[in-house]
Structure formats: C-alpha cells, structure tokens
Chains A and B, each alone.
Chain A
Amino acid sequence: MIQTVTQADLPCDESLRIKKNRIAPENTDNLKRISIVTGTHGDELEGQYVCYLVQKRINEHPECLNGIIDIYPAINPIGIDSITRGIPAFDLDMNRMFPGDSEGYMLEHIANGIVTDLEGSDVCIDIHASNIFLTEIPQVRINTIFGKKLVPIAEKINIDLIWVHPSATVLESTLAHSMNAVGVPTLVVEMGVGMRITKSYCEQLTDGIFNLMSSLGMWSGEVPNVRKPLVVYDEDPISFLNAEKSGLFVAHTKHWTNVTEGQHIGDIIDPLSGKVLTTVTADCDGILFTIREYPIVDEGSLIGRILPGRELKI
C-alpha cells in the first residue's frame, strides 16, 4: 500500500510528498519489519532499481512473505527529479539534517517525519550509490560506535566489504546515525556510481536483503548463497590515492582487483598540451576497491582507495 509519510507545500501548485510502499501479509501482528530507504542524494540511483527488484521478487511469491517491508524509494524527490545531489533551492545535503525537528522549518519537519516513520523497524537499509565521481564495490559503512551490533547484520546482505570507520561528529546528523541512536539498526550501503544503475550490484544486494529477511523469519522462499564480506576496522590502514595534479584522469586498472606496489593505476593528462601530467601508481600491495569514475580532477581529488595487505581470491 502506497502511503504518504510526510509532506509540505511547494510555492507553486505542488506538494512535496515523501512516499513509501508497505508490503505485508494481511495479518501483521507481531511481524518483523525491514525498511529500505534510498534517494537521499538525488544523483544516487542504484537504490531505485533495488526497490523495484525487491518488490518484483515478493510479487512473484507473495505467499513466502512473513514480515513487513517498507520501501522509501525517494526521500529527496525534488533532488532526484532535478539531478541534484542536495535539496534544490536550498543547496543543503539531506543527509546532514537528521533527526530533523517536527516543529522546525519545512525541511527539518520532513526529515523528522521520515525518522518518526522509520522508528519501530527491526532493520533499516539506507542505500547510497557513492557519487558521480567514484565507483564503489558493494559495501556497508558502519560507524565504529555501532560496530558490534551492525557487523553481524551487514554480513548477511551479500556485500563485498564492511568498512567500520571512526566516529566523526559531523556524521551525527545522518539518517543512519539518527536511526541507530534511537535503536533501529541501520546499515549504510554504498555501491556503484552516481547517476547510473549497475544491475549486477543491485541484484547482488537484493539477494542479500532476501537472505536477511530469511534469517529474521520474514521470508520462507528460496534464498541464494551469499558471499562473505571482507571486514575492515578503523585501525586497519586504508591507502587513499589523491590527484597530485589537476587534469583529466584516465584509468588503466580495473576496479576491485589485486594491485601491487608501483602498479600503474592511471594517468592524469593535459588535453591542451598533450602531456601526461602525472602517473598514478599503487603505493602498496592490496585490493583496489574504489576507483575514480568522473575524469576531471582537481589537485586532491580522490582517485582510488586500496586495502593494503589484502588479496582477492580469483
């Protein structure tokens, strides 16, 4: 059943409505609930396809559903509509506004309406898609303060990597932090790249969501085997490759591959002079798990990330 979670009027003949679709058996007494949230950043679309795939599989075998699935595909609908990462007209990051304020101004009110509606979920999955600049392997990012509780849940959703990162005060205003703080285990999924759909990643995560549902007793249907993710903790070093020159980055190495120290990752070139400005090389042996997708770089732009000392079994 499609419901409006919260809404506010825009200036000219339009309401901003945050909608969800609740999929559940007729009798919902004592059933567990998973909420799937996406579309916080208007340029991240991978989660859109996951929302569709989850419903498609349920619709194929509705008799197997023994729980409540709430799907919130667009919590920043005007951002998605206008290919804007933040909230158009305000230039604000929706994911820095939580938990919001029911008595606050329009956007705080909307943010609080979303948080309030999500309360009571047994698990919340907040799907992001990196951004337009970087391609990411399917992964869950977890604030270290919630690590113990969330890592076992994240291991069920068929991602390749779990990254338990240090706590940062500025991240306290994210949806995931706000939900975890009120006791709703919330996983932040990052995968793929902005403005695109990576079908294989979306299918992979969908498999994982059904595995999680199965483990919670919410799904009695068939569940594919899921992969065991690499887990990286904040004490583990991660190598960041940043552009040393501004220019055009052209990759020479594929994403999610083993690399060795000194390996050629790509070049930063100058189309005006026809010169290679700098060569980007791996600074350690490991797995290249992030790669630059958008070619224009400024000095400092992130080119890639390497997990040192790890190796993919191929």
Chain B
Amino acid sequence: MREKIIYELKTLYRDDMRARAFEFGSGEESVCILGSLRGNEIQQTYVCSQLVKELNILEQKGAIVKDKKITVIPCANPRSINTEKRFWPIDNTDINRMFPGYDVGETTQRIAAGLFENIKSYKYGIQFTSFYMPGRFIPHIRMMSTGEEDVEQAKLFGMPYVVRRKVRPYDTTTLNYNWQLWETKAYSVYTTTTADIDEASAKQGIKSVLHFLKCIGVIDESVSTNAGYHSKLLWNTDMVNVRNTHSGIYRPVLQSGQQAEAGDLLARIIDPYTGEITEKIIAPCTGTIFFSHSNPLVYSSTAVVKIVPEN
C-alpha cells in the first residue's frame, strides 16, 4: 500500500486540506474508488476506510493482479467533514457540482480539477455517494443513462438493484457524468445511510466492490468473494413513490429492505401538538421498500417511501 497526497489546499488558519489516496498494485490505472466529497458522507468514508484495510491485506497476500492498480480515496474533502458541513465551508458550494473542474477557477473548481486530473484516466470509477433527502436506501448501483453506461457490468457488483435514470441538467457537473465523458466506466454505489454508520450495508458495499474487482480481473480469482445478489435492473421511474399529504412528525413502521403488501401500514404522521395520527401512509402496491424517509420531521408532499413493485 502506498499513500499519496493527490491534492492539497493551503488555508489561512486551519491545517492544509489534503486529499489522500491509497494505492494498491501497480501498472494500468484500473480502478479508482472514491468515498466522500461532502462533509456528511460519513458512511461513504467508513466503507472506503474498510476497503483500504481489506485491499492492504489482499496486497500483502499477493492477490492484486499484476499490472493492475487500484486507488482508494476515502475522503476528498476533510475540511467539510471536520466542520460537519455537507458543502464547502466558506461558500457552501458542492465539489460534486464542479467537475471536470477548472484549475485557475474558484476554490471548489480547483479542488475538482485537482482531483479529476489524478483520477480521470482510470478504466473504472466507483463513487460511494449520497442522496440529498434524508433517508435509508437498499444498497444499489445507480447509473446515469448517458449512452455510455455499461449496465451488464454493473450487475457484477452483485448488489440487489442496478438503477438507471435519465440525465438532468445539474448532473453534467458531477464526477460520475464526467468520468463517463472521459471514457471511465463509472458507478455510483449507494449503501443505506449517509451521516450515520450502517454496518450491514457497509459490509455489503465492501463485499460488492471486492466481488466486482474479482469479476473484472483486478484481484485474484482465488480470493473468496460473494456479493450475494443477482442484481435486478430497473429505471428509477419504475419505482412507486408514496407521498404524504400532511406534514408533522414521521414515525416509520416499515423500513428500506422490507417487503410490503398492498394496504400495509408504512408510516404514521403525528400532529406535533396533539399527538394524534393525522395520516397513515399505506402501501399502494406489493413490493420491496427501496427508500424510506428517516428524518423525524416531514414536510407535506414528500416522497417518504419508494417501492419497487413486485411485478
């Protein structure tokens, strides 16, 4: 394992910000794995830290295939992590809306440019990322449909689902999109949580990445991996969004990963003053709960649950 600082930013009063990479094997730039770009992506950092540990062991056993290099960057934005701010501390900009970056531009453009320069030539790019709405996901691979996406290869992660969605205007400045433009096969990996650690899905994320690395011939085929699922492929529009009408205190009954029958009680909305139930959120169809709202408060008309219908 080699440690390398791939980007450094000097600051006025704080320690310099460093994006630290861990390299395994050597030769062809095969796979780059990125954890957090935002300050609340603790689960994403954690999963990558565990991957560094696993890959270090594998490298010591000689299990990294010859002429293949894997780079893991657990956290590319420690400055935001240390202040527990999702975005850049001074101007609240999102590094993941700045790619491919601009090396003489503004601060987060420079950071994006500095990172991208170091990671754009990899054959595969894996990013552990997060959703802006507070909630819990079934672990899955998410892909933008740019025309360049390789869906069949995404199934090699062995995650329960591979979800595709159409590109929106704001996606064009994300790392995933720009990786694809630079001909890197890019995959966004979602585990269950963001700001909290979820051990079970973290383990799933680690298993899935190791399984993928084996399937694409980057770690030795003798390494025992089993991601566990034949991925189901779907579009995000295949999911049924269940919205609440009333706002209030949100009390979930069923969570992501659980099965729901049509008519099952998914959650209750409670009046914050009287404690009365103002709304029961009922499953409109039978299926698997893909996403469940996790914030104790809920606004009206929120997609509190997303269900993958059984058929």
Contact = CB atoms under 8 A, between A and B. Distances in A.
A169 interface: yes
B106 A246 contact: no
Interface in B100-139: 104-110, 132-133
Interface in A72-98: 85-86, 89-92, 96
Interface residues of A, number: 38
B173 interface: yes
A9 B300 contact: yes
A11 B247 contact: yes
Interface of A: 8-13, 85-86, 89-92, 96, 104-106, 109, 131, 133, 169-173, 240, 242, 245-248, 270, 272, 296, 298-302
B107 A301 contact: yes
Contact of B243 (A92, A105, A299): A105
A152 B109 CA distance: 33
26 contacts: A8-B299, A8-B300, A9-B247, A9-B299, A10-B299, A11-B248, A11-B249, A13-B273, A90-B133, A91-B86, A105-B133, A109-B301, A169-B169, A170-B169, A170-B170, A172-B169, A240-B105, A246-B10, A246-B12, A247-B12, A296-B90, A298-B9, A299-B107, A300-B108, A301-B91, A302-B106
Contacts of B249: 11
Interface residues on B, range: 35 or more
Contacts of A300: 104-110
A105 B273 CA distance: 24
B11 A246 contact: yes
B169 A106 contact: no
B302 interface: yes
A133 B243 contact: no
Given A91-B87, A173-B169, A105 B272 contact: no
Given A11-B249, A242-B104, A105 B110 contact: no
Interface in B1-28: 9-13
Contact of B91 (A133, A170, A173): A133
Nearest to B87: A91
Given A11-B249, A105-B302, A242-B104, A170 B97 contact: yes
